[in-house]
Structure 1
């Protein structure tokens, strides 16, 4: 088990029949409970032949996993805190700039 505050989803790809013309990839996916489902759904069995379609499937799954993780509680709170800090900094800079122009807010 991997213990981490930031790793929320895992996509494991296992190679079967490596170095043959019949190479296959077995895919397993798991995520923390607060990560929403992300597609595309795995077929049953989740075994794929080497192909452009598998490549596209895997990239799509990984990208969707990342976006879903951002919706998890921990990342949502971090994003909210970051946005608040950025807005607060923007406000302070604009407020200082407006006061530095003869106190009227005009240039």
Structure 2
């Protein structure tokens, strides 16, 4: 989320922008934050000490606010700030003006491969209203809700609901773009591989059988079945021979062979 003030200094903000942030969500301390963090650092305050967070219709949202992200004096390119704002699919650009039609924002001002939707929010001091203009890449399918005509909101709570729904739907529509689809597939593939490795390592600790190849297990099963069949055949043949011996009277259980002399 960016704010435009003329003239603007680094980290400068206004009461109107702060009111807009308060309208969107709650200010939260990042250190120790245990909910959705949106890629922000919650251990060492490397991405600032605070941010703006909200939950809308089951969607957790952590805003990347330009005035809350730290500025590095050593890094003139401000890579850390660009890493978050520049990689967001949807960006909000906040203007504050005295008249409604005093903005001249152009998406070409922002050089980014990932941001596909710009929501330009114009706060007009004159009548305490918000005006919304949405720019999107041609590859992004149409998404609702449609902007009213004129796209001016005097009810601030109504504007909040409309803006959040519009941005959530816009991000979902943009994700179908081939650029994000390929990245999503690679991410899912990496997650599945990682889950498989973790799962198999746990199984290997608990059961040595899973360390063997599946083909080896099949061979062992087949070998055990052959051994059982061979034993059963030996028992059958042995019982047959014993039966023949008994019938001939040569078996130890026969009364004919219990004497000293053996029958020929």
**TM score, norm. by length of structure 2:** 0.35
Higher-Rg structure is: 2
Looking at structure 2, the residues matched to 66 and 23 of structure 1 have their Cα atoms a distance apart, in angstroms, of: 28
Q: Corresponding residue for 2:114?
A: 6
Cα deviations across residues 70-106 of structure 1 (Å, max 9, x unaligned)?
2222111110011112223333444556667142679
Alpha-carbon distance change, 89 to 55 in structure 1, aligned in 2, over 3 angstroms: closer
> How many residues were matched structurally?
103
Tell me the distance in 2 between the aligned counterparts of 1:33 and 1:91.
38
| Residue equivalent to 1:57 | 162
CA RMSD of aligned residues (A): 2.5
**SS of residue matched to 1:81:** helix
Bigger mean CA offset, 28-37 vs 81-90? 81-90
| Structure 1 unaligned regions, length at least 5 | none
Matched residue SS, 2:131? strand
SS in 2 for 1:30: strand
Q: Is the contact made by 1:14 and 1:25 (CA closer than 8 Å) also made in structure 2?
A: yes
Query: Structure 2: how far apart are the matches of 1:70 and 1:99?
Result: 38
Residue aligned with 2:138, SS? coil
Name stretches of at least 5 consecutive residues in structure 2 with no aligned partner. 1-108, 218-264
Cα distance in 2 between the residues matched to 1:33 and 1:90: 36
Tell me the SS of whatever aligns to 1:36. coil
Alignment TM-score, normalising by the size of structure 1: 0.77
Which of 129, 140, 143 is 1:24 aligned to?
A: 129
Deviations 1:37-86 (A, max 9, x none): 22111012111113321221111112212222222221111100111122
| Alignment match, 1:39 | 144
